[in-house]
Structure 1
């Protein structure tokens, strides 16, 4: 991996200020709760702090909590940064699409009958860790045929998870770097991943995923534009808004570079399009 450490750290340090309000608190009895959450993180990792803040106003200490925005349940198995990018792209006018107009991001804390048909239960750190590691295994399978994670010692996997959940760049990246190394027996193969782990999101539509190669048929480096056209062959990429990590990369950016530098900690590129 030919890494640009400054880019990696800047992406890691991206945060979103969030204002949590208890749903149904018409009289404003409870004070809102403010947190700066890493773009790389997941909302369930904030549950413990949110529950503690609103504990006096919940029907039961065992009440299941989840989050919504403008009446829509948030898919909290997705990274916080991706959820915010999707929210920004849901705005109807260009003026409303300025992220600074929506900070802090207003989220509602919901309780009651858990919406099992809309989101999966990730209300414990153990369940979230299992989900996170399953994503890593899938990404490693796509990039390396599963060779890296299968050989990784348990203590390294634990360090990866602890570094992620505690927002510790210097704890996470020494291990994650192993997952970012290109593998291959030939010079061409060694310069890139086998395929790029990428997931595409468009509004409320289901996530799209394909096996995307790092090179085109003529052996040149595949770009973001090449990938977008794989998913939307009839689209004019000049008219599309593409976001990842809150950034609109140039369409000529090589996919290999994007995967190495702008992937989320689960090793997937999560890209929202409009």
Structure 2
């Protein structure tokens, strides 16, 4: 097996133990909470795709409080040997949750369900692994998350419904956006409906081969001919106007997608895979809470979270909402025309006045 495939497969099969609990706000006064729901969630999936059993369990419990004998329901739930097994993956990589609900909608989809961790609503259109890296901690497992059925925070989360169809629409939209940035939309435009379906079903079923057979096309570089070896560090207004002047021939022409080994391709041919890369770096708010005292938090908010208009226009600033992030365009080449690394990008970003002190706090 290719060493790269081994790494991809290991990342793909990453799992996070999660303990789902019904939010106390969704329980009548003086009523006991139902047993928690434990699941082993793939990092690469999205919560709405894997919480259907937990949602049904808690929804049934809430319904039982309105009429059925609650004690019988509780005894049955405690006696069930499978309560702590749900949502785990089988030998084929497919989750029990996905097997149980094969249609695009499920009974739980009628509810505006949302998740909360440490008083923070979790954005359902973010991958589970990203949410865990932002808010969770490997030293505190399983990851305890509350499920809500009421008071949906529409000002923070994407509007409901929160179901498979919504996740699918958002996922395919991000795929198209990424392909437009990287390949000018050439990969998506050549895909057949069966390819779209295979990509989605691979994600839904947690099947590595099914997903990566299609997704590998997006990993290959978009190569241009006749590029300059050292592209400019920032596009200017004159550059944009010159590119849009009628009658001008394009500076380069598109060639077929080639090898996915971008660094070796760059060094061997001198071709330019990207002129600029959109770059967004997230910071875990939990790291800030550990390293910033109350007085420092105010000072940081005044200095870093209140940027100048110039910083706002450039995009390299920290927004007031959590999680804070840095977003900007970067050139994939250094001044010598050689490919840069993530380390180079981070060093450059944290060298800016607005982020230098912020970076020091994160490194403590």
TM-score class, shorter-chain normalisation, is 0.7 to 0.9
Q: Secondary structure at the match of 1:18?
A: strand
Asked if 1:14 corresponds to 2:14, the answer is: yes
> Structure 1 residues 7, 43: CA separation in 2 closer, same or farther (over 3 Å shift)?
same
Partner of 2:134: 86
The CA deviation at 1:195 is: 4.5
Q: Does the 8 A contact of 1:47 with 1:65 survive in 2?
A: no
> Structure 1 residues 52, 67: CA separation in 2 closer, same or farther (over 3 Å shift)?
same
Q: 1:43 aligns with which of 32, 47, 57?
A: 47
Post-superposition Cα deviations, 1:212-232, rounded to whole Å, max 9, x if no partner, equal 333223221211122224544
Post-superposition Cα deviations, 1:34-68, rounded to whole Å, max 9, x if no partner, equal 11111111111123222122122235974321100
Q: Secondary structure at the match of 1:41?
A: coil
Q: Secondary structure at the match of 2:344?
A: helix
Superposed, which structure 2 residues align to 1:157-196 within 5 Å?
Answer: 157-186=196-225, 187-189=269-271, 192-193=273-274, 195-196=276-277
| Unmatched segments (≥5 aa) in structure 2 | 67-107, 226-268, 286-321
Partner of 2:70: none
Q: Does the 8 A contact of 1:122 with 1:128 survive in 2?
A: no
Asked if 1:133 corresponds to 2:172, the answer is: yes
Partner of 1:151: 190
Q: 2:328 aligns with which of 205, 210, 213?
A: 210
Provide the rounded CA distance (Å) in 2 between the counterparts of 1:128 and 1:73. Answer: 17
Q: Which structure shows the higher helix fraction?
A: 2
Question: Between Structure 1 and Structure 2, how many residues are aligned?
Answer: 231
> Structure 1 residues 86, 116: CA separation in 2 closer, same or farther (over 3 Å shift)?
same
Post-superposition Cα deviations, 1:220-268, rounded to whole Å, max 9, x if no partner, equal 12111222245443338985769xxxxxxxxxxxxxxxxxxxxxxxxxx
| Unmatched segments (≥5 aa) in structure 1 | 89-96, 243-273
Q: Does the 8 A contact of 1:195 with 1:213 survive in 2?
A: yes
Q: Secondary structure at the match of 2:125?
A: coil
Provide the rounded CA distance (Å) in 1 between the counterparts of 2:116 and 2:348. Answer: 32
Q: Does the 8 A contact of 2:350 with 2:359 survive in 1?
A: no
Q: Does the 8 A contact of 2:134 with 2:323 survive in 1?
A: no
> Structure 1 residues 73, 23: CA separation in 2 closer, same or farther (over 3 Å shift)?
same
Partner of 2:153: 115
Q: Does the 8 A contact of 2:46 with 2:125 survive in 1?
A: yes
Which one has more relative contact order, counting CA pairs under 8 Å at least 6 apart?
1
TM-score by length of 2: 0.57
